Amino acid sequence: MLRQDSNDDTEDVSLFDADDEVSKRPKKSKIKHPIASFFHLFFRVSAVIVYLLCELFSTSYIACVVTIILLLSCDFWAVKNITGRLMVGLRWWNQVDDDGKSHWVFEARKASAPGKKVTSEAESRIFWLGLITCPLIWVIFAFSALFSFKVKWLAVVILGVTLQGANLYGYIRCKVGSRKNLTSLATSYLGRQFLQQAVAKEEQAVS
């Protein structure tokens, strides 16, 4: 059963403080959904590779653009509808109520039993690594195309940023809940990092 937003009964998955979570619980490194894990990375990595190498192997700009758009579209659909649900138990979508109003729904799978996880640590790491890294790569491509005056590629890279950024935003909302929770999570994470550094410096000074 999937329930909206995060709460005490919602299963937790690795994001910012994965290292802390791993040290507190037994590891589950087995990949339960190898096909989903493969396609979670395949389409987005293929789009990046085609963007980088298409001019070396093809003189057709249209063919390159169409191939990249198809890969990005397949990636958006697969990540939004399949890999997020299977690999980390998260999903998001838009629904229209009876009054015709549009609502965004962000849900996380409820743990089947206290302390029991149904997602593996390996799949969680694969999911978040691919989800976070690739949009950053497309942002770099966007600045590169802009500053190198490759205007013809701007539409493609903007599409890449938009589609993959939308999935990233949607799944972070699923993970942490509302925007207020997202802000508080980032603040608390940075606070813990500064506190750990301060404690380490004090221990070094005492020793």
Concatenated DSSP letters of 85-107: HHHTSEEEEEEE-TTS-EEEEEE
CA–CA separation, 188 and 192 (whole Å): 6
The answer to whether 58 touches 79, Cβ cutoff 8 Å, is no
Instruction: State residue 158's pLDDT score.
Output: 95
Q: Are 82 and 92 in contact (CB under 8 A)?
A: no
Structure-token match 């963007």, residue found: 51
Amino acid in the structure at residue 38: F
Instruction: Find, among 83, 173, 75, the residue nearest to 126 by Cα.
Output: 83
Q: What mean pLDDT comes out for the span 77-97?
A: 89
CA-based end-to-end distance of the chain: 52
Q: What value does the mean pLDDT take over residues 144-148?
A: 91
What Rg do the C-alpha atoms of the chain give, in angstroms? 20
Read off the pLDDT of each residue in 149-177 and give the average, rounded to a whole number.
91
pLDDT value at 177 more than 80: no
pLDDT at 29 over 90: no
Pick the range with the lowest mean pLDDT from 20-34, 69-83, 109-123, 127-141. 20-34
CA distance 37 to 120: 11
Across 90-109, average pLDDT: 83
Mean pLDDT of 18-43: 71
Please give the average per-residue pLDDT across 126-155, as a whole number: 93
In angstroms, rounded to a whole number, what is the distance separating the alpha carbons of residues 22 and 16?
12
Percent of the chain's residues with pLDDT above 90: 42
| Rounded average pLDDT over 190-196 | 73
DSSP string covering 7-62: -TTBPP--SS-HHHHHHHS------S-HHHHHHHHHHHHHHHHHHHHHHHH---HH
Q: State residue 169's pLDDT score.
A: 93
**Residue 154's pLDDT is what?**
92
Return the pLDDT at 182: 52
As a whole number of angstroms, the distance between CA 186 and CA 181 comes to: 9
Please give the Cα distance from 107 to 10 (Å, whole number).
Answer: 9
How confident is residue 186, by pLDDT bands cut at 50, 70 and 90?
A: low
172 vs 206, residue with greater confidence:
172
**The model scores a pTM over 0.85:** no
Read off the pLDDT band of 84 (50, 70, 90).
Answer: very high
**Contact status, residue 163 vs residue 73, Cβ threshold 8 Å:** yes
